[in-house]
Amino acid sequence: MLRGPGSDYVDLENVLEVYWHVFDVVVQCQELDPLIDVEERKPCPCSNEPMVYILKKGQDHLDDVLCPVGLAALDGCASIRRSFKPKVWQRLERAYLMWNQCDFALDTMFKPIREKLRTIGARADWLSVDIAPKFLLNFAGDRIEKLAHSVMAVTTSCGNQYIVDFTIEQFGYDCGEWLMPEQVYLEQYTTDGCWRLASAEDQDVVAFEERTGDEDREWRELITEFCYALDWAELDGMSPDARIAVVQKLARGAFGLT
C-alpha cells in the first residue's frame, strides 16, 4: 500500500512552495525558441510509448535577434491552438516553459533550499530518475530521446521522505504534483521505481555544462542569490497566501518580469 503524506507534509510544503513560486517566475523570464506549429504524434495503440508533441521552430535564433520571453514564444501558434482542447493547450504551454529545465532548477536553487531545510531538521539530496511521462516534447527533425531527470529528495526530521520535482509539468503532469511522498512518486511517476543519488562530481558536471557564458552565469547567480536572501524571519510570520504573494512580487521585480 502506498503511504500518503506524513504529519510534517504541511510544514515542508510551506517552505518548498516558496521556492516553487520563485522558479515559476524564473521560467516565465527565460528566452525560448519561437514556435510556429505543434503536431500531435500519437503512439501505436499496442505500445506503451507516450504521446509526443512535435514542435516546429520559427526563425532560428541569431546573435543580434532576441528570442521571445516565456509564453510569448508561442504567439506564432495562435492559429493552431484552437485545434487543441483548452486544458491540453494549457498543459503544453506549461510543459514548454519547464522543458529541459530540471538541471537548471537544481543548479540554481538546490544549495539555498538545502540550507533552509536544515533549519527545520530536514535533509535534501539531488537524485536522478527515469521518468514515466504522460507526453514528451520534441523539436521537429530531432531524434526523440528520454534523458535522465533530476529531482530533489527530502527526508524530514520525522524520517518521512518526499520527492520535489519543480519541472514535472514538462511531462504532462499537473502543477500540483511537484511534491509527493517518495514511495508514491517512484511507483507512479517513474518507469522502474528507482533513483540514483547524484554525486558531487555529477553536480559539478551539470553546473559546468549549464553555464555557457558570462551573461548566463550572472542570470544563474542572480537566482541563487535571490533564494539565499529570502527573509524567512518575515515570511514565517505570514499566512501561506500572503507569503506567496510577497515572494512572487519580489521575484518578479528582481527578475524583471513586468
- The tens digit of pLDDT for each residue in 101-143 reads 999 999 999 999 999 999 999 999 999 999 999 999 999 999 8
Least confident of 2-16, 53-67, 153-167, 199-213: 199-213
Rounded to two decimals, the pTM is: 0.89
* pLDDT score at 207: 54
State whether residue 175 is helix, strand or coil: helix
Give the confidence band of 70 by pLDDT, cuts at 50, 70, 90: confident
pLDDT at site 183: 96
Q: Which pLDDT belongs to residue 203?
A: 56
Residue 1 has pLDDT above 50, yes or no: no
Confidence of residue 67 (pLDDT cuts 50, 70, 90): confident
**Whether residues 168 and 46 fall in one domain:** no
pLDDT (tens digit per residue) in 171-210: 999 999 999 999 999 999 999 999 999 876 665 555 555 5
One domain for residues 81 and 93: yes
DSSP string, 21-88: HHHHHHHHTSB---EEEEEEEPPPTTS-PPEEEEEEE-SPP-TTSPPPBGGGGGGGGTTTGGGS-HHH
pLDDT at residue 232 is higher than 60: yes
Residue 141 inside a domain? The answer is no
Q: Is the separation of the CB atoms in 196 and 127 below 8 Å?
A: yes
* Lowest-confidence region among 87-91, 193-197, 213-217, 230-234: 213-217
Establish if 140 belongs to a structural domain: no
Residues 79, 123, single domain; the answer is: no
Amino acid at 121: G
Are 226 and 120 within one domain? Answer: yes
pLDDT for 2 equals: 45
Mean pLDDT over 50-70 rounds to 76
Query: Under DSSP, is residue 157 helix (H, G, I), strand (E, B) or coil?
Result: coil
Cα 167 versus chain centre, distance: 2
d(CA 26, CA 220): 10
Nearest alpha carbon to residue 102 among 216, 212, 215, 210: 210
Pairwise CA distance, residues 30 & 163, whole Å: 25
The 10 Å CB-count burial string (b at 16+, else e) for 95-121 is bbbbbebbbbbbbbbbbbbbebbeeee
Burial label for 148, CB within 10 Å (0-12, 13-18, 19+), is: middle
Q: Do 81 and 20 share a domain, yes or no?
A: no
Instruction: Flag whether pLDDT at 214 surpasses 80.
Output: no
The domain of 111 spans 9-29+101-134+146-255
Residues 121 and 226 occupy one common structural domain? yes
The predicted structure's pLDDT at residue 113: 98
